[in-house]
Structure 1
């Protein structure tokens, strides 16, 4: 996963619900030093909560992607995040080169 263009991640999930596993997997794929380069916000819902989980990723260009963990799989999220990160990398290469 290309994480150098991510400026913020916000995750809300219930750790006891299998369908809300995607935000936990996404957070585990972030590099260990990501706390210094991006704003990470995590909230765990209680066991009996009826509230839905969510994952929101903000990029350095201001674009924000929101995902519903019960409908989207981790591979789809990774593909979307990598696609936008590659686009930002191309823009950076064209402007600096």
Structure 2
């Protein structure tokens, strides 16, 4: 997964809920040095009895914001969506550099 174009990740999830699995997996797939490279990561843990649904918002360097529903997409779908936009930004950066 190309993460160098991600500037901010906001996640809200119940860590005990099965429905929040893909959100937790996405957060764990981010590189360990993401915060030191300038990425803002905000994770809000909901109480176990909460009825709120998990949410994941990813913001990119070009200003695009993606609100992703982990229950519907699953981890593969989330990574596909993020990678699709990251690859487009990578192509754009390659064209302007060379």
| TM-score greater than 0.5 by the shorter chain | yes
Where does 1:1-97 land on structure 2 (aligned, <5 Å)?
A: 1-36=1-36, 37-97=38-98
- 5+ long unaligned stretches in structure 2: none
Q: CA deviation at 1:69?
A: 2.0
TM (norm. structure 2) is 0.95
TM (norm. structure 1) is 0.96
The Cα RMSD (Å) is 0.8
How many pairs does the alignment contain? 97
- 5+ long unaligned stretches in structure 1: none
Q: CA deviation at 1:3?
A: 0.3
Aligned residues of 2:70 and 2:78 also touching (Cα < 8 A): no
